Amino acid sequence: MIRVLLVDDHASFRQPLAFMLEQEPDLTVIGQAGSLADARTLLRDVDVAVLDLDLPDGSGLVLVRELHQANPHARVLVLTASVKRKELAETVAFGADGALHKSVGLADIIAAVRRLAAGEPLHTPEELIQMLRVAGQERDKELAARASLDRLTRREREVLQALADGLNDREIAERLGMSTETARTHMVNILNKLGVQSRLQALVFALRHGAVQIA
């Protein structure tokens, strides 16, 4: 029997899938979980784990490495609602053995579980290479973004956070005890260091990479 673990926070998806998998003579669902915390108690004695990426207490990708540590022979199939190549590539880069979109049919999921359990690849070498290339490009972009943010001074970060708080130049100057002209100069420096053309782009950039917070 192929022992399957299902991890998905949507019971309306997970439970019917479990029921259908149980109808197969060679498959058995040994556990179901709707969160990382619940899944961590079920990582042993698994042949194939079917994971969702978006869980209430974190990314399902965290479980990939934890599962492999607890059970080196287990295989991981990610079911995702995302169609972005970046996210699909990240699953492979994190060590998942395959990824399918949630819109695929039940027969495709069952076939994928069987192939992974048999040690067969789910994706062609060309697809894997492309996914890893995309993941590498995304990592390079993230490193470049971090390097840009690291170039900001403490004062420039304060100005950027004030911008995120919705303040204009005069209000930023009042909060930080500087002249309006100095606040504008800091903003120009921020745009140059981040390589963006507008304050909105700077704000989106900073939010995307966790440099500022919006209350």
pLDDT of residue 91: 73
CB 102 within 8 A of CB 13: yes
Say whether both 127 and 162 belong to one domain: no
> Which pair of tokens denotes residue 82?
């995302």
- Per-residue pLDDT tens, the chain, 215 aa: give them: 999 999 999 999 999 999 999 999 999 999 999 999 999 999 988 999 999 888 999 888 888 889 988 888 899 999 887 655 666 667 776 778 888 888 889 999 999 999 999 988 876 667 666 666 765 666 667 777 788 888 999 999 999 999 999 999 999 999 999 999 999 999 999 999 998 889 888 988 888 888 888 86
Instruction: Classify residue 193 by burial, with Cβ atoms within 10 Å: 0-12, 13-18, 19+.
Output: middle
Structural domain harbouring 189: 151-208
pLDDT of residue 144: 79
CATH number, domain at 17?
A: 3.40.50.2300
Say whether both 191 and 125 belong to one domain: no
pLDDT of residue 86: 65
Asked if residue 214 is part of any domain, the answer here is no
d(Cα 185, Cα 160) in Å, to the nearest integer?
A: 12
Q: In this structure, is the dihedral angle defined by the CA atoms of residues 159, 160, 161 and 162, taken in order, positive or negative?
A: positive
Say whether both 127 and 163 belong to one domain: no
d(Cα 157, Cα 172) in Å, to the nearest integer?
A: 12
